Amino acid sequence: MARRNRIANTLAINPVGASRICRPIDVARHLTWNQHMPMNIRSVSLALLLLLGGAHSSAQQNDQQQMRGLDEQVQEIKSDVLSIAEELSRLEERLLYPSGTQVAIFIALAEGDPMRLDAVRLLIDGQLVSHYIYSSKELEALRKGGVQRIYVGNVATGDHQLEVLVDGKLEGGADFSRTEHFAFRKEIKPKLVGLTLAGPDSGGTPIALGEW
Residue 33: what pLDDT?
45
Phi, psi of 168 (to 5 degrees): -170, -165
Tens digits of residue pLDDT in 37-87: 455 665 656 666 666 566 556 666 777 777 777 778 888 888 888 878 877
Does 171 reside within a domain?
Answer: yes
Report the chain's terminal Cα–Cα distance, integer Å: 147
Q: Are residues 109 and 203 in the same domain?
A: yes
As beta bridge partners, residue 177 has 167
Domain coverage including residue 180: 102-211
pLDDT of amino acid 154: 92
Q: What is the pLDDT of residues 19-43, one digit of tens each?
A: 444 454 454 444 444 454 455 665 6
Q: Are residues 56 and 113 in the same domain?
A: no
Domain containing residue 140: CATH number: 2.60.40
Q: Report in angstroms the alpha-carbon separations of 169 from 28, 51, 116, 132, 174.
A: 105, 74, 5, 16, 5
Residues 199 and 111 placed together within one structural domain of the fold:
yes
Q: What pTM was estimated for this model as a whole?
A: 0.58
Q: How many domains does the chain divide into?
A: 2
Check the CA dihedral 170-176-180-184 and report its sign.
Answer: positive
**Alpha-carbon gap, residue 116 to 99, rounded angstroms:** 34
Residues 6+ apart with CB under 8 A from 181: 161, 162, 163, 164
pLDDT for the residue 53: 61
